[in-house]
Amino acid sequence: MDLKNLKNENGSVASTKLGSAVCKTVLPIVPLQPLEIIEKSIQKKYRSELWSPFIHALKEYEMVKDGDKIAVAISGGKDSLLLSKLFQELKRASKTDFEVVFISMNPGFNEVNLKNLKKNLNHLNIPCEIYEDNIFEVAERIAKDYPCYMCAKMRRGSLYTKAVSLGCNKLALGHHFDDVVETTLMSMFYMGKFETMLPKLKSDNYDIELIRPLFYVEEKSIIKWVKNNGILPMNCGCTVAASKTSSKRRETKELIAQLIKDNPDIKKRIVHSMQNVNLEKILGWKDSTGKHSYLENY
């Protein structure tokens, strides 16, 4: 991993060079903290920012129930590392009878990233099974011009397969509040449709349910937790397609940052709009039966 410092006001942002792409990553601002301090910070220092919204999503969308066996997918990034620690805290604190296992797919990480992943798992005391699935190479071979979509689809399928093989009925991913907001706007701006990232959904091809417990956790809070605990998560793990990745999410993120300057609650309002759709004032919609127009009931 080639890091070149790009100091910001906190002195904690760097660029990660991968191929011809340069990706921003978050660097810790303190030495790696003892496990006890890292774990306590979730319930103490960052309770309102991390623990409370995590529990809010679990309860509102009934994500964890008695008898569940949940596979938590760890990519090596900041979001999935936090998600894993949250589930460990939940297991200790909750009266709900559920099992949790941790899985991490190695789709072809370089040695530096793989070593860093193992170091973080060991320090954070996350008993995770790392299994091999050479998806980077396959995705580039069958979709050379733009492998990202194919890679994401294959990775999801691989995680589903692994989770089902372990007897899990749920797979937890680390998508957070900002992912939800950005995905919603991107669907409107670039795909011409209104849809969002759901907090949970049943797989079409596997007997398993996907859940997103970080649905209400903001990315800035995750970054603070990582930086202030001295954790260096993986960034830009892809070894073949970083330079081909669409810039649309980055552009959308930058747009939201501009809107927040005038309206600090804009992200919350966007998510609220997804929960408050007036079906009498939309031009059309589609469901399992096909496309519909408001003129059908005019």
DSSP for the chain, written as a single string: -EEEE---TTS-EEEEEETTEEEEEEPPSSPPPPHHHHHHHHHTTTIIIIIHHHHHHHHHTT---TT-EEEEE--SSHHHHHHHHHHHHHHHH--S--EEEEEEEESS--HHHHHHHHHHHHHTT--EEEEE--HHHHHHHHSSS--HHHHHHHHHHHHHHHHHHTT-SEEE----HHHHHHHHHHHHHHHSS-----SEEE-SSSS-EEE-TTTT--HHHHHHHHHHTT--------SS-GGGS-SHHHHHHHHHHHHHHH-TTHHHHHHHHHT---GGG-SEEEETTEEEEGGGG-
Q: What is the mean pLDDT of residues 59-66?
A: 98
Model confidence at 163, in pLDDT bands (50, 70, 90)?
A: very high
Least confident piece of the model among 16-20, 153-157, 229-233 = 16-20
Mean pLDDT of the chain: 87
Q: What are residue 236's phi and psi, to 5 degrees?
A: 55, 55
Q: What is the pLDDT of residue 10?
A: 42
What percent of the chain is modeled with pLDDT above 70? 84
Q: What is the pLDDT of residue 134?
A: 77
Dihedral of CA 32/34/36/41: which sign? negative
Q: What is the mean pLDDT of residues 155-181?
A: 95
Model confidence at 91, in pLDDT bands (50, 70, 90)?
A: very high
